[in-house]
A and B are shown apart, each in its own frame.
Chain A
Amino acid sequence: MGEAIVPRFRTGDAVTVREAYPIGHVRTPYYIRGKRGVIERHCGAFANPEELAYARPGLPAQPLYRVQFLQRDVWPDYAGQPADVVEVEIYQHWLQPEASRDEPRPSR
């Protein structure tokens, strides 16, 4: 089955959601693919739903994160307030590190 996957990210890390559009069952919504956000928390490791969807074990378990996005970074015409955010659970294999300075910290 493979060794456990080491979590790559920590709270506060800037990440970008990978852009890829495979067929099959994917739990990364279209609206945040390619978008930049910040890790709000590491949720633990879970079997990969992309594999579970085909009755396969989905192991080794993938680290899962809650990632916070500024709405104005997600929607070009966002009509709400600049501080508004959306928080989405995303599996590690959909995230890439984003080298950055002065990133907005997750709001608490």
Chain B
Amino acid sequence: MGGLAAGAVAPVAHDYALWEKRVDALMMLLSHRDRQLLTVDELRRNIESLGAEAYDTMTYYERWIHAITQTLIQRGVITVDELGRKIEDVRAREAHRG
């Protein structure tokens, strides 16, 4: 990334949403030496694997939750099947809340 042409740096910041803070918390808890269920190196590799276009299509924390989940699958901590079922379960609950 260093040295590529780019535009002006707009010195903006935003207040993090709760879900973003929870993504960060997940990363901290999972990488903690008491659990060591993933490393930031695996997360970085998985983010790099998303490709450059991910910067345009996904937000920072969307990329991170994608990488965290990918790493947990790679490590065998969760299975694709249980992830898929749980996501649908979460979305169904949300739909019922209206």
Chain A residues proximal to chain B, CB less than 8 Å? 24-25, 29-31, 49, 52-55, 58, 75
Contacts and interface: CB of A to CB of B under 8 A. Distances in A.
Interface residues of B, number: 11
Instruction: Please report whether the interface of chain B is mostly helix, strand, loop or mixed according to DSSP.
Output: helix
Given A52-B39, A55-B74, A24 B45 contact: yes
A77 to B, nearest CB: 11
8 contacts: A25-B41, A25-B45, A25-B48, A30-B2, A54-B42, A55-B39, A55-B42, A55-B75
Contacts, number: 29
Instruction: Please report whether the interface of chain A is mostly helix, strand, loop or mixed according to DSSP.
Output: loop
Contacts of B45: 24-25, 53-54
Interface of B: 1-3, 39, 41-42, 44-45, 48, 74-75
A28 B1 CA distance: 11
A29 B45 CA distance: 14
Given A55-B39, A55-B74, A55-B75, A29 B44 contact: no
Given A52-B42, A55-B42, A31 B48 contact: no
Contacts of A55: 39, 42, 74-75
A54 B2 CA distance: 24
A75 B44 CA distance: 26
Nearest to A51: B41
Contacts of A52: 39, 41-42
Given A52-B41, A55-B75, 11 more contacts: A25-B41, A25-B44, A30-B2, A30-B3, A31-B2, A52-B39, A52-B42, A53-B41, A53-B44, A55-B39, A58-B41
Contacts of B39: 52-53, 55
A54 B74 CA distance: 9
A44 to B, nearest CB: 17
